[in-house]
Amino acid sequence: MKHKRKFSSKQFVIKTATVGLLLNMLASPVHSVFADEVKTPATTEKGTAAGNTTAKAAVKIPGIESLQLEVDSAVLIEPTTGEVLLSLNADKPLPPASMTKMMTEYLVADAVKNGQISWDQKVVVQENASKQIGSRIYLAEGDEHTVRELYIAMAVGSANDATVALAELVSSSEQEFVALMNETAKKMGMKTAYFINSTGLDRADMPAKFQPKVDRETVMSAMDAAILAKYIVTDHPDFTEFTTIQSYKFRQRDDKPMVNYNWMLEANKDIANFKAYAYPGLDGLKTGHTNNAGNCFTGTAVRDGMRLISVVMGANSEAHRFTETKKVLDFGFNNFEIKQVVGPKAVIAGNETVPVQKGKNKDVSIVTDAGVTFIVPKGTVAPQINTAVTVNDAATLVAPITNASKVGKVTYSYKVEGMSQVQEKTVNLITAEEAEKAGWFKLLMRAIGEFFSDLFTGIKNLF
């Protein structure tokens, strides 16, 4: 025989509270018994973003072997996403020759940007700079030139003496500047880079008096060079003011101007000696050559709003480094494009609102605060984008909440088929409107309603 379970007075008391208690709790923290229940969603994975449900690529990416590159190493990256589009021995440390000067250029430009030095500041040439060999503008000890003049000589003519003069200006000696170079390389995430001077010269070619005590050479992988170039174009977007100079007469008395070693500059399309190498959209960055390094080049070009950075190391001739760079850049521009996969103010399916405690409404609409772009195979119509949504802790979502307040974040990720790297970008989730605080009477009525709803649910569960 079945017996009905009786509802005890004790259980009833547990489920009961006085209206007076409710009134007292109106001013209590958000964890009061009548507060709207807000659960912070766990990170969620969704197959697509902004309504994308299919992926269709118009271009099939060819293999790197089809390029038949004749260099020791090469890499191609898109700097805003960090996507590596091509890689050949890209992590192998090699002598970079004058591509080393990209770090000197970066740090000098940083010093100007930070107000440590100025472009018009006069630099007095010291002994170390005056004794440099290789590419140089024949500075004598005691000569005076502006930072800008020396920087142009470094960027256009790859002048070793001008480079050392700038390094000694930023730091008290070239070797102190080298310490800054190595420290900065680590901060940038350059994994193999090690510098012994500001120029890229072999140790034996440095003035004996100023050679470092450590018996090592400068090395840098193609990937490290690309990372360094990415920081230059990102942190100092005015770099083209110097790298696009085709020729420059350093002194009025000089017989002829120095000519930019970068034959691929787009402006060279009208120069007889260089027009065969001129590349549309190319505006930098740095060549390099020593017997040990062979011929190297870090190039960067822009087309249709997309900038690419290429590095080739160990080409067998001055011209060959440019023909191989063309292969690398063509591979990128012919096969990839930048696409906005999510626009700003986007609504995330399944996360259109977040609950709000003590508000006139129990929730508020949310949107993204920025758009998201990824590099995709050229012609891709609807790339498959994964999303991971996280909402702020419930205790922080209490009215009043102003419009455009940050209430969470969403991370978008995308992987190009056949490539190992996953592109990822995180943007904020913000309120699309103001969440006003409810009046005390509305909060009271809501609390009473929820109280009795909870009470009757408890009673029902007893039978």
pLDDT at residue 41, as a whole number: 36
85 Cβ contact list (under 8 Å, min separation 6): 76, 77, 78, 308, 331, 332, 335, 336, 375, 419
Rounded-to-integer distance, Cα 386 and Cα 333, Å: 25
C-beta neighbour count of 197 within 10 angstroms: 28
Please give the span between the terminal C-alpha atoms of the chain, in angstroms, as a whole number.
16
Q: Is 221 a catalytic residue?
A: no
pLDDT at residue 23, as a whole number: 39
CA angle 156, 75, 383 (to 5 degrees): 120
User: Half-sphere exposure (CA, 13 Å, Cβ side) for 97?
Assistant: 22
Strands of the sheet containing 44-46, edge to edge, are 44-46, 386-391, 406-415, 422-431, 363-368, 353-355
Question: In this structure, are residues 71 and 90 in contact, taking their beta carbons and an 8 Å threshold?
Answer: no
Tens digits of residue pLDDT in 390-429: 998 878 887 788 888 999 999 999 998 877 788 999 999 9
Arithmetic mean of pLDDT, 23-48: 35
pLDDT at residue 16, as a whole number: 41
pLDDT surpassing 50 at residue 13 = no
pLDDT at residue 279, as a whole number: 98
Q: Which of 98, 198, 221, 405 is catalytic?
A: 98
pLDDT at residue 414, as a whole number: 93
Rounded-to-integer distance, Cα 460 and Cα 447, Å: 20
pLDDT at residue 357, as a whole number: 72
Tens digits of residue pLDDT in 128-162: 999 999 999 999 999 999 999 999 999 999 999 99
Higher-confidence residue: 25 or 112?
Answer: 112
Tens digits of residue pLDDT in 159-174: 999 999 999 999 999 9
Beta strands in 42-115 (DSSP E): 44-46, 73-78, 83-88
Tell me the pLDDT band of 463, cut-offs 50, 70 and 90: low
pLDDT at residue 55, as a whole number: 45
Arithmetic mean of pLDDT, 190-216: 96
Instruction: Tell me: cis bond preceding 96? Omega within 30 of 0 counts.
Output: no
pLDDT at residue 124, as a whole number: 98
pLDDT at residue 398, as a whole number: 79
Tens digits of residue pLDDT in 361-380: 778 889 999 999 999 999 99
Higher-confidence residue: 343 or 115?
Answer: 115
Q: Is 186 a catalytic residue?
A: no
pLDDT at residue 7, as a whole number: 42
Rounded-to-integer distance, Cα 226 and Cα 308, Å: 10
Arithmetic mean of pLDDT, 28-44: 33
268 Cβ contact list (under 8 Å, min separation 6): 246, 274, 275, 277, 278
Rounded-to-integer distance, Cα 167 and Cα 44, Å: 50
Calculate the average pLDDT of the chain. 85
127 Cβ contact list (under 8 Å, min separation 6): 141, 209
Q: Which of 7-11, 92-96, 245-249 has the lowest mean pLDDT?
A: 7-11
pTM of the model: 0.80
**Which letter does DSSP use for residue 210 in this model?**
G
pLDDT surpassing 80 at residue 40 = no
Question: What percentage of the chain exceeds 70 in pLDDT?
Answer: 81
pLDDT surpassing 60 at residue 386 = yes
Tell me the pLDDT band of 31, cut-offs 50, 70 and 90: very low
pLDDT surpassing 60 at residue 3 = no
Is 273 in a helix, a strand, or coil?
coil
Tens digits of residue pLDDT in 298-321: 999 999 999 999 999 999 999 999
Strands 144-146 and 247-248: unpaired
pLDDT at residue 419, as a whole number: 79
Q: Which of 73, 130, 158, 171 is catalytic?
A: 158
